[in-house]
Every structure is written in C-alpha cells, then in structure tokens.
Amino acid sequence: MGLEMTATRFVAPYFGSSTLVWTNVIAVIMIALALGYWSGGKLAEKKAPLSALQRRLLLSAALMALAPFLVSFLTDGFLLQLFQVFSGSIAVLIGSFFLVVFLFFLPTYLLAMTSPYLVGYETRKGSDAGKIAGRIFAIGTIGSILGTFLGPLVLVPMLGSKRTMLLFAGILFLLTAPVLIKGKRGAKVLLVLPFLWLFSTSPNMRSFGNLIVQAESPYQYIQVLDENGTRLLVTNEGGSTQSMYNSDHIVTGNNYFEVAALTPALFGPDKPLNILVLGLGGGTVSREIDLLYPDRDLSITGVEIDPNVIALAKRYFDLDRARLNVVNMDGRSFLRTTHATYDMVVIDAFSNQYYLPPHMVTQEFFESVQDHLTPLGVVVSNFDARLRSSPLLTTFTNTLASVFPAVYRVAIPDTRNDVLIARMQPFAPVYEHVPQELLQIFSLVEGSFEHITYSSGQNVFTDDWAPTEMMMDRAVWQSHNEITRAE
C-alpha cells in the first residue's frame, strides 16, 4: 500500500491525479496482486525454499529503487506523445496506465507472492493452516494500513516521492538481504543503499528551467516558476496557472483575476464588505482586492485546502496581509462549519490543475453558498471554459441559475476563462468607483454581460451526479479539434 499510494505522485506531474489516474493505479495494482497471489501459491506448492521468495523480494526492492529514475525517461519519450494523437481523457487514461504498468506492476506482483507462499511454507512445518493464514493476513493488513497513512500523509510531504519510494525499497532490501549475506560479497551489496539515497538528492519530479521551488503535499505536486519576473503557481501536470505574483505590479495581466477584483465596485463605495474566497491558492485575487481598495472597510477570509500551498504563498506570493484571514480547510467543509455571512463569495477552486471539484459545482453546494450570503450578496465564480459551447459550461451555468435567479456570464477576451456573477435578486451589473488599475479590463468587459436563465430541460449538477472530469476532458478534446481545423 505504501507503493500504491506513492505511485500516484509519480504520475501526477505528467498526467494529473484525476479519477482516471487513480482508476489506473488501483486497477494495475489489483491485477498485479491477483497474479502475485496465484504465483505465490504455485511457489509454495512446489515447496521452494525460503530463499526463492527472498530473491524475488530483493528484485522487487531493486525495481522500486529504479522507478524514480525511470519516470522522466518514460514520460519525456513516447508517453507524452499520446497528447498529440488522442483526446485529453484518452491520453491520460492510456499514458498513466502504461506508466503505472512499466514502473509498478512487476514490483507489486513480486511483493504479492509473500503471503500465500508463507502460508504454504509454515503449513509444511506443521502449523495449522487456518491459524497461520489468519495471522499472516492480519500482519499484512496492519502493514498495509501503515503504508497507506505513512506514505502520502507523512513521508511524501516530508521527504518527497523519490526518497519515499527509495525508503520503502531500502526497508524491503534490509528485511530480505540476509539471503545474500554469506560473506563479504553480501556485505558490499548493503553499501548500495547510501549511494542510492545520495543519488536521489535532486528532488525534482519534473524539471523546468525557470523553477524557483517545488514541493509535494498530500494533495498535489506543486511548483513555483518564474516567468520574466512574474511568479507562477502551478500544480501537477502544469496545465494552467493557478496564481500569479509580481512585486512591481498590483494587477497580473491575467484578466480573470482583474474581473474578480472588479466585483467590490458593484457595491456602494461606503459599504463595508465581508469577502470569502474559496480556493485561495497563492492569493492573487485577495491581494489585488486588498491593494486596489486600500481605503475601503473590508475583510477577506481565504479558504485553501492545501497547507503546502499556503506555506509557499506566504513565502513567494505576499500572502500575509492584515485584512486577510487564511483558513486551511476544504471550501465546502468550511461552509458547513461557519455561521458567518458574506457580501461577496469568490469561488476559484480547481482540483488537478483545471478540473472542477465535483462537490463544489452542485446545486447543494450553491445552496450552501446562498445560505452564507447577505441579502444583496454576490457570488463570483471562475470557470475554465476551454470550449464555450461545451456541456460542462452549459450544465455549470444552469446549475448556478437553478439556485440564483440572477446570473451573468462574462467571457474574458482572448482567454479561455469565463467569470460568472450571481445574486439572489435581479440586478444590473453596474460598477462604481472602478480603481484606476482596472479601467482597461473594465472597458473590455463593460456591456458584455450575458444573462443566464435556468432551463428545466437542461442538466444540473447534484451531489449524486457531477461527472466534471470526464466533461472537462471532452471539452479539451473538442477545443483541440476546433483549433486544428482552424489551422
């Protein structure tokens, strides 16, 4: 289980960690386990000596130790070429499947031989078959529990994926190495482990020339990049930019952030504002609002699920601000636990880089948001449109309109982003006292608001049905086809 839970971290920088990836990891591991159990039983049936199992476990340890150094070789070669041939979802499905097979199938298969072989081995020594089987599988389950918790929650955030995998390989090696320790030759083999550890001192799972820092958290693989003096926060496969920061500028030039920062100008200049940001990330929107309205009475609560993102944002994205309260929690969970109401709720939560989290697009979620709005409160949601005619966008906007009577969509010029503005009471999106820095984006979007009305004949997302990942993959592929045809 330590191997399985860590395996997804090797896949994430290239193919993300969506349901498709997790399905492949679990399926490949289960197939490897089934075949390993069968082979372990056959090995026990042949009455092979214990050293036969030990040699197989040593091979498994060696393959686990090699895996971190093969990832780049495999992905930089033919696997990433899949995106030139297949749609996003098919490329992710095929690419992550073969990557997991190449890296982790064989070591898992060899590990799985342990329990059935030991049952047969101990039974031949006269142990009661039922008793010994129960004991071995109980010990194995305890080990799986430890691997499940230690890998993603402790070791990966502390050591990184590469060193975690090498640590598991080293432990397995030390547990099975006695079969080789029959003199000086065997002792020399143990010296390989420190060199493997030293060889892993470069922690980069994926290399970029403009990399400032990278980190791994229980949720994702994170990188901070520098692009001509602007810092970018990207996660997993790096499909889009999550946050931006330039110490010399308030606005970033990414027009979604600027449209979101315009929202306080919808309210009278003297009205105090209590603002909630769900999906704080590096704090781009909260920082812009804080700096663009210095004389306004406002307070901002930013909710971010990933503690590592918060730590990096405080270090590299100027997140520590007097009027910002940062909460480390899932956005929907936060709504369940707070009784506060807000004049403005900004929703900018994405999982695996550009997927909409299924639990934060549903009717039930927006009803919870509505419960925390003041009577004239406004909801502002970012949407990575990719294709503005996609079922994902129409379903999302219809879901929002099923809860809020007044919904407007703003298509950001020259981008694939839309901003959706919703309110419980009909209103005209009239801005007052627009900050000087936002006049350019204001002139671009003024008058471009599209009123969205609820249609009972269209789908809506619910907690029971929200296939956002598959719908986003389909939109990406359709968008790619349209661009190809246009060229």
pLDDT digit string, tens, across residues 413-426: 777 778 999 999 88
**Cα gap 35→83, rounded to integer Å:** 31
Task: Write the CATH number of the domain with boundaries 252-486.
Answer: 3.40.50.150
- Residue range 317-322: mean pLDDT, rounded: 96
- The values of phi and psi at residue 273, to 5°, are -125, 130
Q: Enumerate the domain spans of the chain.
A: 2-199, 252-486
What does the pLDDT average to over 66-95? 70
**What global pTM score does this model have?**
0.80
Q: Strand runs (DSSP E) across 315-368, as ranges?
A: 324-328, 342-347
pLDDT band, residue 85 (cuts 50/70/90) = low
CB atoms within 10 A of CB 484: 8
d(Cα 379, Cα 423) in Å, to the nearest integer? 6
User: Chain-centre distance of CA 339, in angstroms?
Assistant: 29
Q: Which two tokens stand for residue 324?
A: 């910002």
User: CA dihedral defined by 59, 60, 64, 67, rounded to 10 degrees?
Assistant: 70
Nearest to 176 by CA among 274, 64, 265: 64
Min mean pLDDT across 140-154, 322-336, 450-464 is at: 140-154
Q: Which range in 202-216, 247-261, 334-348, 385-399 is most confidently predicted, on average pLDDT? A: 334-348
Encoding tokens for residue 280?
Answer: 């704080």
Q: How confident is the model at residue 33 (pLDDT cuts 50, 70, 90)?
A: very high
Confidence label for 198 from pLDDT (cuts 50, 70 and 90): very low
Q: Residue 204: is its pLDDT beyond 60?
A: no
Q: Which range, 76-80, 217-221, 292-296, is most confident? A: 292-296
pLDDT tens profile 71-84: 877 876 656 566 55
Predicted local confidence at residue 193, as pLDDT: 55
pLDDT at 328 (0 to 100) = 93
The residue type found at 461 is: F
Give bridge partners of residue 327 from the DSSP assignment. Answer: 303
266: nearest Cα among 422, 431, 406? 431
Lowest mean pLDDT among 17-26, 448-457, 478-487: 478-487
Residues 274 and 299: their CA atoms lie apart, in Å, by: 5
Alpha helices by DSSP H, listed for 300-353, are: 307-316, 331-337
Highest mean pLDDT among 120-129, 379-388, 468-477: 120-129
- Quick one: pLDDT at residue 451? 92
> Residue 400's closest CA among 374, 426, 363, 373?
363
pLDDT in the model for residue 278: 96
Q: What pLDDT was estimated at residue 354?
A: 61
Helix (H) / strand (E) containing 295: none
Distance between CA atoms of residues 104 and 29, nearest Å = 8
What's the pLDDT band for 219 if we cut at 50, 70, 90? Answer: confident
- Position 160 pLDDT exceeds 70: yes
Give the pLDDT score at 385. Answer: 64
